[in-house]
Structure 1
């Protein structure tokens, strides 16, 4: 891994934000890197940079690990709890909604009290919820447990993004997020295989025991290895009026809202695959638990490829250009997937190939949308990250049950939802992201 890219923050971060009446009157309108402000904390470099990437990446991975490890167990949960496929997919919706709504609460809190305390509290809640899920006797209680898990994981998602924005902005932030996705990308690759291995040794309840153990390791790591990145002088008052004012300021920024929608729609595309792939690949195409884990991991490499190609592309292209390219690739791949699912042409191969390119598009798009969005509002990084993350998980959580509601006798429902979300992301990008050519 190379040395850290230049540390950047936007011009808005230079204005003090320790009073509840502070409002931002201007935001950057291009992807041009801007100068680091004097009150920003020192960014990690060299070995510290590598350690920061690894530690933060491991913490971020708790989210996809919690979501993906139990995917091979969905059919067995359906049988064991005598639940419908739609109800079982509702447990996936539960954790996504918990993560989405939880971020709206954690974001302002992280801007007020700093990053470390919400992070550690969220990991503790994750541990407790995992134990609750392991002993849940009904699908309803399992869904409740998954919502609580999502609330705990929300703190990890918000704080991780906010810590990146505390130290980096613009292309530097996009590069950092791509590095993090190399680490966290291993979670969706390995998690279904790990889940399949656990299922060979025990029941689906053992998956949640492992998640509780992982949470224990992560809270220890966070306590020992991460320092506070938000100085006291940059914290915001935790009161209803300034919090609502900050959310209102963010929602009035048309480009920010466009980035939020693009990120949410591409997450919906990703989680439609996560929620539907186990039924499509196992029940329709007859893959075993082990084969499903391998196929899921292979497609997840598409996500890793896109995210790790991103830092190299950032040397030649602006983040906005890469977002528009990513959503265009995703829309085309999703439409090909829908045509293949509807006609049956190409069989399993023509299902897996478009899925690979869809996940590649997600990997190319998702590091750049938060980097662009948070650079515009560095003075309220926690709240901005919360709104961004909430859109991802609320829109993603709404997409998953649509697949189950449309039936599970073909791949068409999954392909249709993915085609709609990816195409909408491309439309939003075309209307809100004006590509600006920036000269040196």
Structure 2
């Protein structure tokens, strides 16, 4: 499930270093090529809402294989795209296939484990999820000059084929027939509206989703902050960017150890408080003009480590009482996360001050609401 979930970050990040080559080949501007990321994220958000009900009706394995198959066909289209418009459409279809790789693994994990065990499993999943955003751009930087941007999509194609084979051989259906939900407009709308009215689900879904949305703000603004503001050489950007993935990995492993002795809700409350503290310190250093490269790296590393604890525990707690609508619940969580992430990254990108103020303001607001939802609204 962790390998399947990692397909999303790989698809987003691997081709980023080849943007200038794509723009040149398709005779468009680099700004237009950036739209292929936005279209992918938007498609990923919307598609999850459809995948959720399907997986609650037809199980986990068949919809996952269908999603991987659609992803495979869309990736072929990306690799062969003769124009920018074709690439844009193909990336959107790629997102619809990849959406199954986000929704279904969480549902499978919750099918098998209790809340505490699910939090443990999701923490381990974060280990691979933390590595993927680091390794994918590095692989793209290394392979891009050799095989070109179309060759990178061919690599994604190979990964999809391997995952399909792995699913066919290893994955067993985890949805019990008696838990299958009727697929109808009334049932689907009832489930989604029920989740929106469910206090604990919304509290923990917002807690985890808004926390991770802050990470999207960092991803969007990190090139400008590191390269333009702090003068980091472009070839060293990957190292500094990777430190935050290291924070996610560290946090996920701390979460695993804490869950052996403490309930998931207690672990989440501690991580939310520490995350809020990191953002407050970063915002204070920025406002007083004391922020420098070293302090920025330290603040972001510890914030990422807190997210490595917050996300798996908030996810497990949000799915705790969802029983026969796990797929729908997982889909709504994923949709909220990517919509918040798209919104925060867009706002930070459009608010340029030449400082880290937009980023830390975004982080503080996101984690502040996350803190309130997870600590005071949600109940264990």
Aligned partners of 2:178, 2:185: CA distance in 1, in Å?
20
CA 132–279 in structure 1, closer or farther in 2 if over 3 Å, else same: farther
Q: Which residue of 1 aligns with 2:143?
A: 198
How far off its partner does 1:89 sit? 4.6
TM-score (norm 2): 0.90
Deviation at 1:375, TM superposition (A): 1.5
Which of 278, 281, 286 pairs up with 1:333? 278
Q: What is residue 107 of structure 1 aligned with on the other side?
A: 52
What's the counterpart of residue 244 of structure 1?
A: 189
Greater fraction of residues in helix = 2
- Between the aligned partners of 2:126 and 2:181, the Cα distance in structure 1 is 29
* 1:296 aligned residue: 241
SS of aligned partner of 1:310: helix
The Cα offsets for residues 361-395 of structure 1, whole Å up to 9 and x where unpaired, read as 11010111111111211221111111111111111
Contact 1:110 1:382 in 2 (8 A): yes
Corresponding position of 1:322: 267
Q: 1:224 to 1:128 in 2, by over 3 A?
A: same
Distance 1:428 1:388 in 2: 14
Asked if 2 retains the 8 angstrom alpha-carbon contact of 1:68 and 1:274, the reply is no
Tell me what 2:152 maps to: 207
2:36 is the counterpart of 1:83: no
Whole-angstrom distance in 2 between the partners of 1:352 and 1:272 = 15
Which residue is 1:124 aligned to? 69
Contact 2:127 2:248 in 1 (8 A): no
**Counterpart check, 1:351 vs 2:303:** no
3-state secondary structure, aligned to 1:316: coil
Aligned counterpart, 1:189: 134
Tell me the matched-pair count. Answer: 379
Native 8 Å contact 1:69 1:191 kept in 2: yes
Residue in 1 aligned with 2:39?
94
Q: State the 1:412 CA deviation.
A: 3.4
The residue that corresponds to 2:165 in the other structure is 220
Counterpart contact for 1:92–1:275, Cα < 8 Å: no
**SS in structure 2 of the partner of residue 317 of structure 1:** coil
Matched, 1:163 2:98: no
Q: Is the 8 A contact 1:320 1:433 kept in 2?
A: no
- Aligned equivalents of 2:355 and 2:22: distance in 1? 21
Structure 1, gaps ≥5 residues long:
1-55
Q: Deviations over 1:33-56 (max 9, x none)?
A: xxxxxxxxxxxxxxxxxxxxxxx2
Is the Cα–Cα contact under 8 Å of residues 106 and 330 in structure 2 kept in the other structure? yes
Q: CA RMSD in A?
A: 2.5
Q: 1:423 to 1:141 in 2, by over 3 A?
A: farther
> In the TM superposition, what is the alpha-carbon distance from 1:129 to its structure 2 partner?
2.5
Q: Specify the alignment match of 1:368 in structure 2.
A: 313
